[in-house]
Structure 1
Amino acid sequence: MAKKHENADGTLRSLSNRHVQMIAIGGTIGTGLFLGSGSTISATGPSVILIYAFMGVFFFFMLRALGEMFYSDPNHHTFVSFITKYLGPAAGNFAGWSYWIGLLFACMAELTAVGTYFQYWFPHAPLWLVELIFLGALTLLNLTAARLFGETEFWFAMIKIIAIISMILTGVFLVATHAKTPVGYASLASLTKNFKLAPNGTYAFFTAFPMVFFSFAGIEFVTITIGEAEDPHQVIKKAVNETLLRILIFYIGTLTVIMCVVPWWSVSASSSPFVQVFQLAGFATAASVLNFVVLTSAASALNSTIFSAGRHFFQLAQEAKKGSWLKKKFAKIAPNGVPARGIAISVLFALIAPILSFSNTAIEVFSMVAGATSDIFILVYVLALLAHRKYRKSSDFMEDGFKMPFYQVTSPLTIAFFLVIFFSLFFVKANIFGASLATAWAVFFGSFCYFHQRVKDKRAGK
């Protein structure tokens, strides 16, 4: 007898609306807001707010496209499966394997970050041991039940929200009292004084776009929870629609307050503006508290990546050739409703990170390759948007569904915007290697997937 809320493939719909909403918030807010916002502010000044708003709108449109497809068929575990369904198995294989490999590198990067933040308090703790302990604990959570993953993410996200709201309230208090600081006075005038759209030149302004883009990467993770959400139709609407509001509050609200307290030309590119605001308010332990926040933020990202990578590998196994080793071994769900084998194989590859911690050269190479995999995500997003266009022309299209607003205009604009971001990477010195590697991967692996599928189709007489 089937369990309550059990999917046909054996997974359980155990994630409540509360879990999914907080996972959505967690996916929206990354460590980049806490640590990396200083570099974007120092590069572009107040116009960084316009960049975040502009970028946020396009990510919102992408989520609405994904949300529309999930609303029509919430039984999919990953948005990549829609690429297979509407663009064909060759595109699906390219996107699926590319995205999964990208998730592995993201997993290793977050694992390294967790270990580094932990060493802030315990500098002599072996990095590899710290990484193994965190990876083991979060893997155990993911293997136990999807609901336990959701509960963990709920509290991880709560910590980030408390930190942001605390910073905003502290900043508002400093502005309201016109507090004197070492760099002037906290005031709304600090935001607009000496305002220029590109204060450090056009090049610095446009290099901020890729930086902001990657701070939003991972926002699509919320859609991966839909296959295991208790009420998918209600959840997907709420999670996606509130994304734009979260961007306005958490990103734009935070950046506005920071620049009112610390004039934008005084914001340090190398330190966290959060710490600067709290220290100006007299909190001596601000750096230590922020380290705790970014540690939980990195752990949250690691937790979500393990969850996502496991589901993606399970999806790849499900779509594999009937009778293949991949399908036989990994297209299975454990009795507790999780794709345990998909999670296990993903975590096994993530163990490369602790091994790399013994060599500085290996870490440098890993960082460059990890950057390239992030670039590949852009291409996968574009394929997902193209799949959505095919969905619109298919018999699956729901006229009364959760439709992408102003589709005729927003769909091609979003695709064009993502492609512009990808090609802009070739004009930013720090991103040229990653963009070149991502392009080489797309050309060679994409060609392999295409010709491999043609051979399969020919053998099958298609």
Structure 2
Amino acid sequence: MSHKNEENDHKTSDNGMVRGLQNRHVQLIAIAGTIGTGLFLGAGRSISLTGPSIILVYLITGVFMYFMMRAIGEMLYMDPDQHTFINFITKYLGKGWGYFSGWSYWVSLIFLGMAEITAVAEYVQYWFPAWPAWSIQLVFLVLLSSVNLIAVKIFGEAEFWFGMIKIITIIGLIATGIFMVLTNFETPVGHASLNNIINDFQLFPNGWVSFVMTFQMVFFAYQAIEFVGITTSETANPRAVLPKAIKQIPIRIVIFYVGALVALMAILPWRELPVDASPFVMVFQLAGVKWAAALINFVVLTAAASALNSTLYSTGRHLYQIAKESDSRTMSKLKLDRLSRTGVPSPAIILSAIVIAVSALINVIPGVSDAFSLVTASSSGVYIAIYTLTMIAHMRYRKSQEFMTDGYLMPAYKILNPMTIAFFIFVFVCLFLQESTFIGAIGASIWIVLFGIYSQLKFKGQ
């Protein structure tokens, strides 16, 4: 098969999108996509469940997420004009599964966006407790929607600096850890040392169930790693940039996740780390940074804003794609299948932002916020179904006539692809083990079965 758009460095892709993202934007987006607020806020909880063996969980999960990215990368390398990897599900598994994945992914992203905008308000209220949450949410939505609406280059620039803040914070933590270990730094419970990790090491210090439970927590810390694949049709020279971004994922996982966890557990024995507060705050306070809590609050605020920025970008592209493939008059009337003069799907972004804004109302109504947290938990489970369908689509692609033999190939796909699918199923089963995720797992199962059947019937024979 001949290379489609051989160099692919022209200013617009075949779908009308402007290739405004440069290599540095994509590299930072790829890093930022692997570092969520979960690492800054949730590390203490996951460490408390299984101690130093949490590093193993992060590595195992990271390996399988990398395999998924290799599969997505291979398909996007073959056709870099696709807006999103979801298109390959439609292409290789049929319109039914494509319809299911397109809407499921958009809805899941919307609920993630709602969770992110709620978090943004909480972080701002740390400094300004008197400000009403709904007003903070609306201001951030308007600001970030504007960033997305102007041009993709502005979005890339904002994401670049959001990502940089997260990276600098983690490198700061790792540097603090190295300094404390080398100087035998005295802590309230002893000294900073690598022995804090090695001494009394057990693979399952709280039993194997706690160890297994951490997989779903770590899995969702990696959620949105696929986001870099959605930028392909708006990246200059994607065939050079995308493989580079994906190849560096394992190194980034080792540096940012494993490095941060090793630093935390070397400074303080893992049983001494806070469970319900950020261990990052505790470490920076030990290092003499009196305003550590405010610093980490600023970092998680930018991390949540970055996640919301990316969500608005993704939801806009997905809704635009759904509208393009749909023959719905309503979508056509709302102009959801149109691009602005700068090549941005403005109507789709605006509608997505309006739907996310509903969360501002939800949190004001008593009793509804509980139902909202349930739906958010359910959407996380639906993500696993979409990832699984993506891997199946990749297997079909390998057997199709479009398979590019000289493309960016996933290694040993016949073994690694089914192993990745088996891992995703294992993570889904893990959702049923914890009380906090059990109801969400049931909700996700109901959605997958009912909407899956509806989607198949809707496109029966197509």
Q: CA separation in 2, counterparts of 1:362 and 1:337?
A: 38
Paired residue for 2:203?
Answer: 197
Aligned amino acid, residue 260 of structure 1: A
Q: Which residue of the other structure, out of 255, 267, 275, is the alignment partner of 2:273?
A: 267
Q: With structure 2 as the length reference, what TM-score do the two structures score?
A: 0.96
Q: CA separation in 1, counterparts of 2:281 and 2:199?
A: 23
Structure 2 counterpart SS, 1:6: coil
Aligned amino acid, residue 290 of structure 2: A
Q: CA separation in 1, counterparts of 2:392 and 2:10?
A: 35
Paired residue for 1:414?
Answer: 420
Q: Which residue of the other structure, out of 326, 334, 337, is the alignment partner of 2:331?
A: 326
Q: Which residue of the other structure, out of 349, 356, 377, is the alignment partner of 1:350?
A: 356
Q: Which residue of the other structure, out of 65, 71, 95, is the alignment partner of 2:71?
A: 65
Q: CA separation in 1, counterparts of 2:101 and 2:251?
A: 29
Paired residue for 1:168?
Answer: 174
How far off is 1:424 after superposition? Answer: 2.1
How far off is 1:116 after superposition? Answer: 0.4
Structure 1 counterpart SS, 2:431: helix
Structure 2 counterpart SS, 1:372: helix
Q: CA separation in 1, counterparts of 2:147 and 2:434?
A: 39
Q: Which residue of the other structure, out of 152, 160, 163, is the alignment partner of 1:154?
A: 160
Paired residue for 1:288?
Answer: 294
Paired residue for 1:254?
Answer: 260
Deviations 1:2-44 (A, max 9, x none): x951123321001000001101111000001111000011111
Residues 75, 394 of structure 2: 8 Å contact kept: yes
Q: Which residue of the other structure, out of 388, 397, 403, is the alignment partner of 1:382?
A: 388
Deviations 1:320-374 (A, max 9, x none): 13x7442463111111110011101111101111112213422221111101001
Deviations 1:71-127 (A, max 9, x none): 000000111111001100000000000000001001110000001000000011010
Paired residue for 1:101?
Answer: 107
Q: CA separation in 2, counterparts of 1:281 and 1:48?
A: 24
Paired residue for 1:429?
Answer: 435
Q: CA separation in 2, counterparts of 1:324 and 1:9?
A: 21
Paired residue for 2:6?
Answer: none
Pairing 1:210-221 to 2, within 5 Å after superposition? 210-221=216-227
How far off is 1:171 after superposition? Answer: 1.1
How far off is 1:253 after superposition? Answer: 0.6
Aligned amino acid, residue 294 of structure 2: S
Q: CA separation in 1, counterparts of 2:353 and 2:255?
A: 34
Aligned amino acid, residue 400 of structure 2: S
Aligned amino acid, residue 43 of structure 1: L
Q: CA separation in 2, counterparts of 1:49 and 1:136?
A: 39
Aligned amino acid, residue 50 of structure 1: L
Structure 2 counterpart SS, 1:351: helix
Structure 2 counterpart SS, 1:426: coil
Q: CA separation in 1, counterparts of 2:415 and 2:10?
A: 41
Residues 10, 236 of structure 2: 8 Å contact kept: no
Pairing 1:56-135 to 2, within 5 Å after superposition? 56-135=62-141
Q: CA separation in 2, counterparts of 1:226 and 1:10?
A: 13
Paired residue for 1:306?
Answer: 312
Aligned amino acid, residue 128 of structure 2: F
Q: CA separation in 1, counterparts of 2:177 and 2:432?
A: 38
Aligned amino acid, residue 60 of structure 1: Y
Deviations 1:274-332 (A, max 9, x none): 111111111111110000000000000000000000000011011113x7442463111
Residues 27, 218 of structure 1: 8 Å contact kept: yes
Residues 9, 333 of structure 1: 8 Å contact kept: no
Aligned amino acid, residue 226 of structure 2: E
Paired residue for 2:343?
Answer: 337
Residues 142, 149 of structure 1: 8 Å contact kept: yes
Unaligned runs of 5+ in 2: 1-8
Structure 2 counterpart SS, 1:253: helix
Q: CA separation in 2, counterparts of 1:370 and 1:35?
A: 18
Aligned amino acid, residue 456 of structure 2: Y
Q: CA separation in 2, counterparts of 1:163 and 1:267?
A: 18
Displaced runs of 4+ in structure 1, greater than 6 A?
A: none
Residues 15, 81 of structure 2: 8 Å contact kept: no
Deviations 1:234-262 (A, max 9, x none): 11101111111100000001100110001
Q: CA separation in 1, counterparts of 2:399 and 2:10?
A: 34
Q: CA separation in 2, counterparts of 1:360 and 1:301?
A: 26
Deviations 1:410-443 (A, max 9, x none): 0000011101111221222221111111111111
Aligned-residue sequence identity (percent) comes to 48
Unaligned runs of 5+ in 1: none
Deviates more, 1:7-16 or 1:387-396: 7-16
Q: CA separation in 2, counterparts of 1:184 and 1:139?
A: 49
Paired residue for 1:15?
Answer: 21
Q: CA separation in 1, counterparts of 2:388 and 2:246?
A: 18
Aligned amino acid, residue 372 of structure 2: F
Structure 1 counterpart SS, 2:82: coil
Q: CA separation in 2, counterparts of 1:113 and 1:159?
A: 18
Q: Which residue of the other structure, out of 442, 450, 453, is the alignment partner of 2:456?
A: 450
Q: CA separation in 1, counterparts of 2:426 and 2:210?
A: 17
Q: With structure 1 as the length reference, what TM-score do the two structures score?
A: 0.96
Aligned amino acid, residue 131 of structure 1: Q
Residues 49, 255 of structure 1: 8 Å contact kept: yes
